[in-house]
Chains A and B, each alone.
Chain A
Protein backbone atom coordinates (compact mmCIF):
# COMPACT_ATOMS: atom_id res chain seq x y z
CA UNK A 1 0.00 0.00 0.00
CA UNK A 2 1.25 3.46 -0.81
CA UNK A 3 1.95 5.88 1.96
CA UNK A 4 2.09 9.21 0.16
CA UNK A 5 4.66 11.64 1.38
CA UNK A 6 3.16 14.79 2.81
CA UNK A 7 3.65 17.72 0.44
CA UNK A 8 6.87 19.37 1.41
CA UNK A 9 8.76 22.02 -0.51
CA UNK A 10 11.93 19.95 -0.26
CA UNK A 11 10.36 16.80 -1.68
CA UNK A 12 11.84 17.05 -5.21
CA UNK A 13 15.24 17.69 -3.67
CA UNK A 14 14.85 14.72 -1.34
CA UNK A 15 13.77 12.54 -4.25
CA UNK A 16 16.81 13.62 -6.25
CA UNK A 17 18.98 12.64 -3.31
CA UNK A 18 17.24 9.28 -2.96
CA UNK A 19 17.70 8.49 -6.65
CA UNK A 20 21.35 9.53 -6.50
CA UNK A 21 21.70 7.40 -3.36
CA UNK A 22 20.35 4.38 -5.24
CA UNK A 23 22.69 5.13 -8.14
CA UNK A 24 25.70 5.36 -5.84
CA UNK A 25 26.29 8.97 -6.85
CA UNK A 26 26.32 10.57 -3.39
CA UNK A 27 29.45 11.36 -1.44
CA UNK A 28 29.99 9.80 2.00
CA UNK A 29 28.39 12.66 3.98
CA UNK A 30 25.27 12.84 1.83
CA UNK A 31 24.92 9.06 1.91
CA UNK A 32 25.12 9.12 5.69
CA UNK A 33 22.38 11.74 5.89
CA UNK A 34 20.13 9.53 3.74
CA UNK A 35 20.99 6.52 5.94
CA UNK A 36 19.88 8.51 8.98
CA UNK A 37 16.66 9.62 7.30
CA UNK A 38 15.92 6.04 6.30
CA UNK A 39 16.40 4.81 9.83
CA UNK A 40 14.03 7.40 11.28
CA UNK A 41 11.35 8.07 8.66
CA UNK A 42 9.21 5.20 7.29
CA UNK A 43 7.88 7.43 4.49
CA UNK A 44 11.38 7.97 3.20
CA UNK A 45 11.94 4.22 3.38
CA UNK A 46 8.82 3.60 1.35
CA UNK A 47 9.74 6.27 -1.18
CA UNK A 48 13.12 4.67 -1.65
CA UNK A 49 11.65 1.20 -1.89
CA UNK A 50 9.19 2.23 -4.61
CA UNK A 51 11.83 4.01 -6.62
CA UNK A 52 14.05 0.98 -6.41
CA UNK A 53 11.32 -1.49 -7.24
CA UNK A 54 10.15 0.29 -10.37
CA UNK A 55 13.74 0.89 -11.45
CA UNK A 56 14.48 -2.81 -11.15
CA UNK A 57 11.54 -3.55 -13.45
CA UNK A 58 13.51 -2.01 -16.28
CA UNK A 59 15.75 -5.06 -16.17
CA UNK A 60 12.86 -6.91 -17.80
CA UNK A 61 13.21 -4.86 -20.95
CA UNK A 62 14.50 -7.03 -23.77
CA UNK A 63 18.03 -6.64 -25.08
CA UNK A 64 18.38 -6.54 -28.83
CA UNK A 65 19.78 -9.57 -30.57
CA UNK A 66 21.68 -8.45 -33.59
CA UNK A 67 21.75 -10.83 -36.52
CA UNK A 68 24.76 -11.64 -38.64
CA UNK A 69 23.15 -9.83 -41.58
CA UNK A 70 23.26 -6.57 -39.64
CA UNK A 71 27.00 -6.89 -39.09
CA UNK A 72 27.54 -7.83 -42.70
CA UNK A 73 25.48 -4.90 -44.04
CA UNK A 74 27.30 -2.49 -41.77
CA UNK A 75 30.69 -3.76 -42.90
CA UNK A 76 29.58 -3.36 -46.52
CA UNK A 77 28.44 0.20 -45.86
CA UNK A 78 31.79 1.01 -44.31
CA UNK A 79 33.60 -0.58 -47.26
CA UNK A 80 31.60 1.55 -49.73
CA UNK A 81 32.37 4.63 -47.65
CA UNK A 82 36.08 3.75 -47.64
CA UNK A 83 36.06 3.25 -51.44
CA UNK A 84 34.40 6.65 -51.96
CA UNK A 85 36.99 8.19 -49.67
CA UNK A 86 39.85 6.71 -51.71
CA UNK A 87 38.27 7.91 -54.97
CA UNK A 88 37.94 11.42 -53.60
CA UNK A 89 41.54 11.39 -52.46
CA UNK A 90 42.71 10.23 -55.87
CA UNK A 91 40.61 12.87 -57.62
CA UNK A 92 42.18 15.52 -55.43
CA UNK A 93 45.73 14.31 -56.20
CA UNK A 94 46.53 16.28 -59.48
CA UNK A 95 45.23 19.45 -57.86
CA UNK A 96 47.47 18.82 -54.89
CA UNK A 97 50.42 18.14 -57.19
CA UNK A 98 49.89 21.44 -59.07
CA UNK A 99 49.67 23.27 -55.78
CA UNK A 100 52.92 21.59 -54.70
CA UNK A 101 54.76 22.66 -57.86
CA UNK A 102 53.56 26.25 -57.48
CA UNK A 103 54.63 26.28 -53.86
CA UNK A 104 58.07 24.89 -54.74
CA UNK A 105 58.53 27.48 -57.52
CA UNK A 106 57.46 30.27 -55.18
CA UNK A 107 59.91 29.03 -52.57
CA UNK A 108 62.76 28.94 -55.05
CA UNK A 109 62.01 32.49 -56.22
CA UNK A 110 61.91 33.73 -52.64
CA UNK A 111 65.24 32.00 -51.92
CA UNK A 112 66.83 33.59 -54.99
CA UNK A 113 65.64 37.07 -53.98
CA UNK A 114 66.90 36.55 -50.44
CA UNK A 115 70.29 35.42 -51.77
CA UNK A 116 70.56 38.46 -54.05
CA UNK A 117 69.80 40.80 -51.15
CA UNK A 118 72.27 39.02 -48.89
CA UNK A 119 75.05 39.26 -51.47
CA UNK A 120 74.37 42.95 -52.13
CA UNK A 121 74.09 44.03 -48.51
CA UNK A 122 76.50 41.91 -46.58
CA UNK A 123 79.36 40.84 -48.87
CA UNK A 124 82.18 43.41 -49.69
CA UNK A 125 81.83 45.06 -53.10
CA UNK A 126 84.95 44.17 -55.18
CA UNK A 127 84.39 47.01 -57.66
CA UNK A 128 84.40 49.65 -54.95
CA UNK A 129 87.70 48.35 -53.65
CA UNK A 130 89.24 48.39 -57.15
CA UNK A 131 88.07 51.97 -57.64
CA UNK A 132 89.59 53.04 -54.35
CA UNK A 133 92.95 51.44 -55.17
CA UNK A 134 93.00 52.63 -58.79
CA UNK A 135 95.71 55.35 -58.28
CA UNK A 136 98.10 52.80 -56.81
CA UNK A 137 97.28 50.19 -59.43
CA UNK A 138 97.91 52.61 -62.26
CA UNK A 139 101.39 53.48 -60.93
CA UNK A 140 102.15 50.05 -59.63
CA UNK A 141 105.07 49.56 -61.99
CA UNK A 142 106.73 52.78 -60.81
CA UNK A 143 106.26 51.83 -57.15
CA UNK A 144 107.78 48.44 -57.74
CA UNK A 145 110.89 50.00 -59.20
CA UNK A 146 111.40 52.24 -56.24
CA UNK A 147 112.99 50.58 -53.24
CA UNK A 148 113.39 53.77 -51.27
CA UNK A 149 110.61 54.09 -48.74
CA UNK A 150 111.59 57.62 -47.74
CA UNK A 151 111.30 58.72 -51.34
CA UNK A 152 107.81 57.32 -51.57
CA UNK A 153 106.81 59.08 -48.35
CA UNK A 154 108.13 62.32 -49.77
CA UNK A 155 106.06 61.84 -52.93
CA UNK A 156 103.02 61.22 -50.79
CA UNK A 157 103.59 64.35 -48.72
CA UNK A 158 103.86 66.37 -51.91
CA UNK A 159 100.40 65.14 -52.83
CA UNK A 160 101.38 63.12 -55.84
CA UNK A 161 99.04 60.30 -54.82
CA UNK A 162 96.21 62.14 -53.09
CA UNK A 163 95.73 64.76 -55.77
CA UNK A 164 94.90 62.08 -58.28
CA UNK A 165 91.23 61.97 -59.33
CA UNK A 166 89.84 59.04 -61.30
CA UNK A 167 89.56 60.01 -64.94
CA UNK A 168 92.20 62.80 -64.64
CA UNK A 169 94.35 62.42 -67.77
CA UNK A 170 97.30 64.12 -66.02
CA UNK A 171 97.31 61.77 -63.10
Chain B
Protein backbone atom coordinates (compact mmCIF):
# COMPACT_ATOMS: atom_id res chain seq x y z
CA UNK B 1 0.00 0.00 0.00
CA UNK B 2 0.99 3.62 0.08
CA UNK B 3 3.69 3.45 2.70
CA UNK B 4 4.81 -0.08 2.00
CA UNK B 5 8.43 -0.84 1.27
CA UNK B 6 7.76 -3.87 -0.93
CA UNK B 7 6.72 -1.77 -3.92
CA UNK B 8 9.21 -1.99 -6.75
CA UNK B 9 10.66 1.19 -8.19
CA UNK B 10 9.26 0.46 -11.64
CA UNK B 11 5.78 -0.09 -10.19
CA UNK B 12 6.02 3.17 -8.22
CA UNK B 13 7.09 5.02 -11.36
CA UNK B 14 4.19 3.50 -13.30
CA UNK B 15 1.66 4.74 -10.74
CA UNK B 16 3.27 8.18 -10.72
CA UNK B 17 2.99 8.35 -14.50
CA UNK B 18 -0.64 7.20 -14.61
CA UNK B 19 -2.11 9.02 -11.64
CA UNK B 20 -1.75 12.80 -11.24
CA UNK B 21 -2.80 12.50 -7.60
CA UNK B 22 0.11 10.16 -6.98
CA UNK B 23 2.39 12.83 -8.43
CA UNK B 24 0.85 15.39 -6.08
CA UNK B 25 1.40 13.08 -3.13
CA UNK B 26 5.03 12.66 -4.14
CA UNK B 27 5.33 16.45 -4.04
CA UNK B 28 3.77 16.38 -0.57
CA UNK B 29 6.42 13.82 0.42
CA UNK B 30 9.07 16.25 -0.78
CA UNK B 31 7.64 19.00 1.42
CA UNK B 32 5.10 20.82 -0.77
CA UNK B 33 2.26 22.28 1.31
CA UNK B 34 0.52 23.53 -1.84
CA UNK B 35 0.32 20.01 -3.22
CA UNK B 36 -1.26 18.80 0.02
CA UNK B 37 -3.86 21.54 -0.10
CA UNK B 38 -4.63 20.66 -3.70
CA UNK B 39 -5.14 17.01 -2.77
CA UNK B 40 -7.40 18.05 0.09
CA UNK B 41 -9.52 20.19 -2.19
CA UNK B 42 -9.82 17.38 -4.70
CA UNK B 43 -10.88 14.77 -2.18
CA UNK B 44 -12.59 16.42 0.76
CA UNK B 45 -16.11 16.37 -0.72
CA UNK B 46 -15.76 12.81 -1.97
CA UNK B 47 -14.36 11.66 1.34
CA UNK B 48 -16.99 13.36 3.48
CA UNK B 49 -19.75 12.01 1.20
CA UNK B 50 -18.63 8.41 1.55
CA UNK B 51 -17.96 8.76 5.27
CA UNK B 52 -21.29 10.44 5.92
CA UNK B 53 -23.20 7.62 4.27
CA UNK B 54 -21.00 5.13 6.07
CA UNK B 55 -21.37 6.45 9.62
CA UNK B 56 -24.72 8.21 9.18
CA UNK B 57 -23.74 11.53 10.77
CA UNK B 58 -22.38 14.59 9.05
CA UNK B 59 -20.42 15.93 12.00
CA UNK B 60 -18.70 12.64 12.65
CA UNK B 61 -18.02 12.22 8.94
CA UNK B 62 -16.16 15.55 8.89
CA UNK B 63 -14.17 14.62 11.99
CA UNK B 64 -13.20 11.33 10.40
CA UNK B 65 -12.28 13.00 7.11
CA UNK B 66 -9.95 15.32 9.00
CA UNK B 67 -8.43 12.35 10.75
CA UNK B 68 -7.86 10.70 7.35
CA UNK B 69 -6.10 13.81 5.98
CA UNK B 70 -3.99 14.02 9.12
CA UNK B 71 -2.90 10.40 8.70
CA UNK B 72 -2.05 11.03 5.07
CA UNK B 73 0.07 13.99 6.09
CA UNK B 74 1.85 12.09 8.85
CA UNK B 75 2.59 9.20 6.49
CA UNK B 76 3.96 11.46 3.76
CA UNK B 77 7.66 10.81 4.36
CA UNK B 78 7.18 7.05 4.04
CA UNK B 79 4.91 7.30 1.00
CA UNK B 80 5.73 4.98 -1.88
CA UNK B 81 3.16 4.75 -4.69
CA UNK B 82 1.83 1.19 -4.58
CA UNK B 83 -1.66 1.85 -5.91
CA UNK B 84 -3.84 4.67 -7.17
CA UNK B 85 -3.88 7.56 -4.70
CA UNK B 86 -7.66 7.27 -4.23
CA UNK B 87 -7.32 3.58 -3.34
CA UNK B 88 -4.73 4.43 -0.69
CA UNK B 89 -6.81 7.30 0.68
CA UNK B 90 -10.00 5.24 0.94
CA UNK B 91 -8.09 2.38 2.56
CA UNK B 92 -7.15 4.79 5.33
CA UNK B 93 -10.74 6.08 5.39
CA UNK B 94 -12.07 2.53 5.69
CA UNK B 95 -9.80 1.81 8.65
CA UNK B 96 -10.61 5.09 10.37
CA UNK B 97 -14.36 4.59 9.87
CA UNK B 98 -14.23 0.96 11.02
CA UNK B 99 -12.47 1.99 14.22
CA UNK B 100 -15.01 4.74 14.81
CA UNK B 101 -17.95 2.42 14.24
CA UNK B 102 -16.44 -0.19 16.56
CA UNK B 103 -15.95 2.43 19.28
CA UNK B 104 -19.51 3.63 18.81
CA UNK B 105 -20.75 0.07 19.02
CA UNK B 106 -18.83 -0.51 22.27
CA UNK B 107 -20.20 2.70 23.74
CA UNK B 108 -23.67 1.61 22.80
CA UNK B 109 -23.16 -1.71 24.57
CA UNK B 110 -22.20 0.14 27.72
CA UNK B 111 -24.80 2.84 27.46
CA UNK B 112 -28.00 1.69 25.80
CA UNK B 113 -29.30 5.13 25.20
CA UNK B 114 -31.63 5.85 22.32
CA UNK B 115 -30.03 9.25 21.86
CA UNK B 116 -26.82 7.47 20.89
CA UNK B 117 -28.43 6.25 17.70
CA UNK B 118 -28.04 8.16 14.49
CA UNK B 119 -30.62 10.61 13.27
CA UNK B 120 -32.44 7.71 11.66
CA UNK B 121 -32.85 5.74 14.87
CA UNK B 122 -31.14 2.58 16.01
CA UNK B 123 -32.81 0.40 13.43
CA UNK B 124 -33.92 2.02 10.20
CA UNK B 125 -36.44 -0.75 9.67
CA UNK B 126 -38.22 0.29 12.88
CA UNK B 127 -38.51 3.72 11.39
CA UNK B 128 -39.87 2.24 8.21
CA UNK B 129 -42.37 0.20 10.16
CA UNK B 130 -43.68 3.29 11.88
CA UNK B 131 -44.00 5.15 8.61
CA UNK B 132 -45.53 2.18 6.84
CA UNK B 133 -48.44 1.93 9.24
CA UNK B 134 -50.71 0.99 6.39
CA UNK B 135 -52.50 4.28 6.50
CA UNK B 136 -50.41 6.02 3.90
CA UNK B 137 -52.15 6.33 0.54
CA UNK B 138 -50.60 5.00 -2.62
CA UNK B 139 -49.07 7.97 -4.35
CA UNK B 140 -46.42 9.18 -6.65
CA UNK B 141 -43.04 8.92 -5.03
CA UNK B 142 -41.84 12.24 -3.80
CA UNK B 143 -38.19 12.99 -4.48
CA UNK B 144 -37.26 13.88 -0.91
CA UNK B 145 -39.05 10.90 0.43
CA UNK B 146 -37.40 8.66 -2.10
CA UNK B 147 -34.03 9.96 -1.01
CA UNK B 148 -34.89 9.13 2.57
CA UNK B 149 -35.93 5.64 1.55
CA UNK B 150 -32.68 5.06 -0.25
CA UNK B 151 -30.73 6.26 2.73
CA UNK B 152 -32.62 3.93 4.99
CA UNK B 153 -32.04 1.08 2.57
CA UNK B 154 -28.30 1.82 2.72
CA UNK B 155 -28.49 1.79 6.50
CA UNK B 156 -29.84 -1.76 6.46
CA UNK B 157 -26.55 -2.98 4.97
CA UNK B 158 -23.76 -4.13 7.22
CA UNK B 159 -20.65 -1.98 7.46
CA UNK B 160 -18.60 -3.85 4.84
CA UNK B 161 -21.48 -4.08 2.37
CA UNK B 162 -22.09 -0.37 2.79
CA UNK B 163 -18.46 0.54 2.21
CA UNK B 164 -18.29 -1.61 -0.94
CA UNK B 165 -21.52 -0.12 -2.26
CA UNK B 166 -20.38 3.45 -1.58
CA UNK B 167 -17.00 2.93 -3.21
CA UNK B 168 -18.65 1.34 -6.21
CA UNK B 169 -21.41 3.91 -6.55
CA UNK B 170 -19.73 7.16 -5.54
CA UNK B 171 -16.13 6.47 -6.43
CA UNK B 172 -16.81 4.24 -9.43
CA UNK B 173 -14.12 1.86 -8.21
CA UNK B 174 -13.52 -1.49 -9.87
CA UNK B 175 -13.86 -4.69 -7.86
CA UNK B 176 -10.06 -4.92 -7.80
CA UNK B 177 -9.69 -1.42 -6.33
CA UNK B 178 -12.46 -1.98 -3.78
CA UNK B 179 -10.79 -5.25 -2.82
CA UNK B 180 -7.49 -3.46 -2.29
CA UNK B 181 -9.16 -0.71 -0.29
CA UNK B 182 -10.97 -3.20 1.93
CA UNK B 183 -8.03 -5.60 2.07
CA UNK B 184 -9.80 -8.59 0.59
CA UNK B 185 -10.09 -10.39 -2.77
CA UNK B 186 -12.02 -9.22 -5.85
CA UNK B 187 -14.08 -12.43 -5.64
CA UNK B 188 -15.08 -11.58 -2.07
CA UNK B 189 -16.11 -8.11 -3.24
CA UNK B 190 -18.15 -9.63 -6.05
CA UNK B 191 -20.09 -11.71 -3.52
CA UNK B 192 -20.33 -8.83 -1.05
CA UNK B 193 -21.76 -6.45 -3.66
CA UNK B 194 -24.15 -9.08 -4.94
CA UNK B 195 -25.58 -9.66 -1.46
CA UNK B 196 -25.68 -5.91 -0.80
CA UNK B 197 -27.59 -5.23 -3.99
CA UNK B 198 -30.00 -8.01 -3.30
CA UNK B 199 -30.67 -6.48 0.13
CA UNK B 200 -31.17 -3.05 -1.42
CA UNK B 201 -33.57 -4.51 -3.91
CA UNK B 202 -35.57 -6.28 -1.20
CA UNK B 203 -36.04 -2.98 0.62
CA UNK B 204 -36.54 -0.69 -2.33
CA UNK B 205 -38.32 -2.74 -4.96
CA UNK B 206 -41.67 -3.03 -3.13
CA UNK B 207 -41.53 0.68 -2.48
CA UNK B 208 -41.02 1.41 -6.16
CA UNK B 209 -43.66 -1.10 -7.25
CA UNK B 210 -46.36 0.23 -5.00
CA UNK B 211 -45.20 3.80 -4.61
CA UNK B 212 -45.45 2.94 -0.97
CA UNK B 213 -43.11 2.28 1.90
CA UNK B 214 -42.13 -1.35 2.40
CA UNK B 215 -43.74 -3.31 5.18
CA UNK B 216 -41.31 -4.15 7.90
CA UNK B 217 -41.35 -7.80 8.88
Contacts and interface: CB of A to CB of B under 8 A. Distances in A.
Interface string A53-85: 111011111111110001101110110011001
Given A19-B197, A71-B40, A66 B204 contact: no
B40 A63 contact: no
A50 B190 contact: no
Interface string B61-79: 1100110011001100000
Interface stretch (B46-54, B90-98, B101-109, B131-139): B46-54
A82 B72 CA distance: 12
Contacts of A63: 45, 49, 170
Interface stretch (B15-23, B115-123, B143-151): B143-151
Given A12-B194, A58-B165, A66 B73 contact: no
A70 B41 CA distance: 11
Contact of A25 (B36, B62, B174): B174
A23 interface: yes
A54 B69 CA distance: 33
B58 interface: yes
A59 B73 CA distance: 32
Interface in A25-73: 25, 50-51, 53-55, 57-66, 70-71, 73
Given A12-B194, A50-B205, A78-B73, A64 B45 contact: yes
B205 A2 contact: yes
B185 to A, nearest CB: 13
Interface residues of A, number: 34
B205 A54 contact: yes
A139 interface: no
Contacts of B169: 55, 58-59, 61
B8 interface: no
Most buried by B among A2, A55, A85: A55
Interface string A82-99: 100100000000000000
Contacts of B216: none
A19 B197 CA distance: 8
A78 B70 contact: yes
A78 B209 contact: no
Nearest to A73: B66
A142 interface: no
A1 interface: yes
A64 B61 contact: yes
Most chain A CB within a 10 A radius of its CB, from B143, B150, B154, B201: B201
Interface in B171-217: 174-175, 190-191, 193-194, 197-198, 200-201, 204-205, 208-209
Given A16-B194, A70-B62, 9 more contacts: A15-B194, A20-B190, A23-B168, A53-B205, A55-B169, A57-B150, A66-B48, A74-B69, A78-B73
